[in-house]
Amino acid sequence: MSTLSPVKRLWRLLKLYKPEIRQIYTYAVFIGVVNLSLPLGIQAIINFLQTGQLSSSWFILVIVVLLGIGVAGVLQVLQLRIVENIQQDIFARSAFEFAFRFPKMKAKEVDSIHAPELANRFFDTLTIQKGLPKILIDLSLSTFQIFFGLLLLSVYSLYFIGMGLVMILILYLLVKITGKIGLETSIEESKYKYRLVHWLEEIGRARRTFQMNDPTAFHLGKTDNITADYINSRESHFKVLLDQFKSFVGFKIFIAAGILVVGGLLVFNQQMNIGQFVAAEIVIILIINSVEKLLRVWDSVYDVLTAFDKIGFVTDLELQQNNGQEVLSPSSDCSLSLKKATFRHKDALDPVFSDLDLTIPERARAVLNSETGSGKSTLLQVIAGVQDLESGDVLLNDVSYSVLSRKSLHQKLGIVFASNQIFEASIRENILVGRQVPEKELLEVLRDLELEDYVKGLPKGLETIMDSGGRRTPRCVIQRIHLARAICHRPGLLLMEDPLANLPTAERVKLIEFLTDEQQPWTLVVISDDEEWLKRSTMTVKL
């Protein structure tokens, strides 16, 4: 897993938008320069007014000042458009990143994680969207405003240069001293936030359990504990923000007092005229406002960096590698062999199985029949390419999985695991999952699995939308849909984990006869203790 800091993650994202950010900063520089037209224009206007005469020059200066304000506004609108484009792109990029990664995550990476809970971290994309304009626009505008303001003041007197350097040093020390602590407390607060959301999801998932055990109020007690931890961590983060706010207030007072005192003394010593002093005061107000913006932006900086830390937890999970180039013929039969195969779960001391040798010939009907806990399901996952061996090799048609294209492997496989799920989509989409299968062949599969009458009885037929997880759908229908998904593309290797457990005996026997028929093109490997499977198998494997 990557150890990139949130700051490095932010820089890595911003590098993708270098041209756009360059434009934003270019506009910010121009806005900073144009904003100086206000104090400079007012200075010149006051000088004209002191003469006691109205002239066309005075009128032109007023127009120039107003134009400066208008131009700055137009440039800010252009900045907003660019940032909006970046926000939309980040949202789309993040959506596809999550959708791409979830199915490809290594099983060992997510075995100890509730994968659906990881999807909650996508909402940190919205945090990045909200915080990015403040970082890219407000932060840059404030920084350049302070810089150009101090630059203008230094023209009036060299004393202001020294004050500017002191100001920059104080700002740097404030960020350096409190920034790291603030980020740590923000990340800690976020951890408890996600822990609470996960627990609320657990209550929703197991609501019947808590409903029937309501007198114990166990769920409320645990909610209270996690909420208390969150509030404590949030309070710690707020204290850091409060300390920063106090420091910035003191900083503003120091800067305002210093510039006012220096400016006043310069006027008394006749080293500045009234127009310059008024202009300097306007610049001081602009600088103070910019410092306040920096303070408001800083909270958003913490939120954005914390969001990168949360999203990074998902994007850092290792994915299955797909370096193989070998491709199997779509129409070929499949033989399977394992050589010296050893598998061990992550952080486990003992292997699930060790030095396992197994050969299953083409079109065999193999039944894995062993005691509970012997590793049958794990072996099936290894054959499916879901789990990776610690040592040894798996070969399909004498081609090692290490050189076999993952896409080619998936095209040859049909899988019915206990972990198979129905997702919210039509029956057709749940069966095909994007595969291109002719309508005639799909209807034939429905007929073979005795799903045809059920589908015809629905108002929308195959286009009927199924609930997530198959709620409100009979278990026997769900099992048949899983089977249809596994065989609709005529796989060469069919892997099944007790696929007919919820069916009545007569229906189960009929489907077993269909799946084990010697005319079927697949090599079959099934986990079951059912005598009907054993009677029709060509080989039995015990671990």
Structure tokens that stand for 349 in this block? 């001391």
Q: What angle do CA 21, 25, 31 make, to 5 degrees?
A: 145
CB-based contact 207:265 (threshold 8 Å): no
Q: How far apart are CA 524 and CA 62, in angstroms?
A: 87
Mean pLDDT within 132-138: 84
Bridge partners (DSSP) of residue 395 are: 337, 400
pLDDT in tens, 88-130: 999 999 999 999 998 888 887 777 788 888 888 999 999 998 8
What's the pLDDT at 366? 94
pLDDT in tens, 320-335: 877 677 777 777 789 9
2 has pLDDT over 60: no
Which residues 6+ apart lie within 8 Å of 471 measured at CB? none
Q: How far apart are CA 260 and CA 263, in angstroms?
A: 5
Give the number of other Cβ atoms within 10 Å of residue 445's Cβ. Answer: 21
Mean pLDDT within 152-162: 73
Phi, then psi, of 35 in degrees rounded to 5: -60, -25
DSSP assigned state of 462: G
Closest CA to 515 of 539, 476, 484, 542: 484
Q: How far apart are CA 410 and CA 427, in angstroms?
A: 21
Q: Considering the domain 6-315 in this protein, what is its CATH number?
A: 1.20.1560.10
Tracing tokens 């006051």 back to the chain, one arrives at 46
Mean pLDDT within 517-534: 91
Q: How far apart are CA 37 and CA 171, in angstroms?
A: 26
pLDDT in tens, 285-313: 777 778 777 777 888 888 999 999 999 88
Q: How far apart are CA 156 and CA 439, in angstroms?
A: 83
283 has pLDDT over 70: yes
pLDDT in tens, 50-79: 666 666 666 777 777 778 778 888 888 998
Tracing tokens 């909200």 back to the chain, one arrives at 130
CB-based contact 315:124 (threshold 8 Å): no
373 has pLDDT over 70: yes
414 has pLDDT over 80: yes
Mean pLDDT within 228-233: 94
Mean pLDDT within 329-354: 86
What's the pLDDT at 488? 93
In three-state secondary structure terms, 391 is strand
- The domain ranges of the chain are 6-315, 336-541
This prediction's pTM: 0.80
DSSP assigned state of 457: T
pLDDT in tens, 13-41: 888 899 998 998 888 888 877 777 666 66
User: What percent of the chain has pLDDT above 90?
Assistant: 33
Q: How far apart are CA 272 and CA 280, in angstroms?
A: 10
pLDDT in tens, 170-209: 878 887 888 888 888 999 999 999 999 999 988 888 888 8
Start-to-end Cα distance in the chain: 33
Task: Give the pLDDT band of residue 527 (cuts 50, 70, 90).
Answer: very high
Q: How far apart are CA 6 and CA 124, in angstroms?
A: 13
Mean pLDDT within 374-386: 89
Task: Give the pLDDT band of residue 48 (cuts 50, 70, 90).
Answer: low
Task: Give the pLDDT band of residue 342 (cuts 50, 70, 90).
Answer: very high
Mean pLDDT of the chain: 85
154 has pLDDT over 80: no
DSSP assigned state of 272: S
Q: How far apart are CA 135 and CA 142, in angstroms?
A: 10
Mean pLDDT within 419-448: 91
CB-based contact 455:446 (threshold 8 Å): yes
Task: Give the pLDDT band of residue 482 (cuts 50, 70, 90).
Answer: very high
What's the pLDDT at 42? 66
- For 338-388, the three-class secondary structure string (H helix, E strand, C coil) is EEEEEECCCCCCCCCEEEEEEEECCCCEEEECCCCCCCHHHHHHHHCCCCC
* Adjacency order of strands within the sheet including 365-368: 413-416, 493-497, 523-527, 365-368, 539-541
472 has pLDDT over 70: yes
What's the pLDDT at 493? 93
CATH architecture of the region 336-541? 3-Layer(aba) Sandwich (3.40)
Give the number of other Cβ atoms within 10 Å of residue 240's Cβ. Answer: 19
Structure tokens that stand for 494 in this block? 């069919």
CA 138 vs CA 36, 135, 290: distances in Å: 17, 6, 9
Length of the chain: 543
Q: Which of the two residues, 483 and 164, has the higher pLDDT score?
A: 483
Mean pLDDT within 491-514: 90
